[in-house]
Homo-oligomer: A and B are copies of this chain.
């Protein structure tokens, strides 16, 4: 691999995304992408006593399903990259504590899935045969931790997003016939001073735009190179801001750009306001929907840019703004 331009890495032997798997909760199962997910849950607890334990079970079972489906002996996987939104990433560490594989915990908030794919791809080209990348989020555990207890029944403002309950995971492989990760553009932290923790799309859109423009400049590509440019969870508001920022910088991404947070729920009937969010938003929509579109050659070139808001409830209470980040992977056949 080699660095091209300012911050993009181009792979000489692009890793294959060998297999993906996704599990989602009941609300996602009622959304427009329902039929693409590998497993849908009937309730948020899945037989567990707490939302945190349920989230751990979701990532655990998703990874188990993925490994079984891939046909790989799990002990041939060289390492795992995983992280989530819970404090100290406990969904991943508890969910994967029995996996018996070298484990790298990562934290990129809702950008975690693409951060994992990026680091996984670096490992596959440099030493690994197989790397597993996984993440999860859970509406109930996230609301409890970042906002208010659900029992309070707080009203959610129109700019708020709905954390996706679920897990998405992928196995990267040195050998394979694609889809290939051909480039990664890891993002920088961008903080434009947005302080409204109920408007994450606005906080993350500048980071998305910076990473995307850098990717275009580094690779010499333009928006129409890709069949689809997909952001992680900017939602309706962030998507609209991102289109404007790109337009002001001379790029028209509108024709082939969409957002996982917009795609996963039906805004008119599901009361999800600005759309989906959470680590699992990008991870389940990619693992469930886009990976299958690539496999079936309905799409041949996509740029997946997951976005993250690197804040917590304490930073908001202390009056801090919300730093955003966005990591991009170019996935091609």
Contact = CB atoms under 8 A, between A and B. Distances in A.
Given A50-B318, A52-B318, A127-B1, A99 B311 contact: no
A10 B22 CA distance: 34
A9 interface: yes
A225 interface: no
A313 to B, nearest CB: 8
Contacts of A88: 85, 87, 107, 109, 310-312
A119 interface: yes
User: 4 smallest A-B Cβ distances: which pairs?
Assistant: A93-B310, A102-B186, A88-B312, A105-B107
Interface in A60-113: 78-79, 83, 85-90, 93-94, 96-97, 99-109
29 contacts: A1-B126, A1-B127, A2-B127, A3-B78, A3-B127, A7-B79, A7-B102, A9-B127, A50-B318, A83-B105, A88-B109, A88-B312, A90-B311, A93-B310, A97-B190, A99-B189, A100-B188, A101-B188, A102-B186, A102-B188, A103-B186, A103-B189, A104-B118, A105-B107, A105-B108, A105-B115, A105-B325, A122-B122, A122-B127
A187 interface: yes
Interface in A210-264: none
Contact of A119 (B100, B107, B119): B119
Protomer copies: 2
B315 A52 contact: yes
A196 interface: no
Contacts of A119: 104, 119
Give the size range of A's interface with the partner: 35 or more
A53 interface: yes
Contact of A83 (B9, B49, B107, B323): B107
A154 interface: no
Given A1-B126, A104-B106, 18 more contacts: A2-B127, A3-B127, A53-B318, A83-B107, A87-B313, A87-B314, A88-B109, A94-B320, A99-B188, A101-B188, A103-B189, A104-B108, A104-B118, A104-B186, A105-B115, A107-B107, A119-B119, A126-B126
Interface string A178-222: 000000001111110000000000000000000000000000000
A85 B118 CA distance: 23
Contacts of A314: 52, 86-87, 90
A310 B84 CA distance: 13
Contacts of A299: none
Contacts of A315: 52, 90, 94
Interface of A: 1-3, 7, 9, 49-50, 52-53, 78-79, 83, 85-90, 93-94, 96-97, 99-109, 115, 118-119, 122-123, 125-128, 186-191, 310-315, 318, 320, 323, 325
Nearest to A214: B102
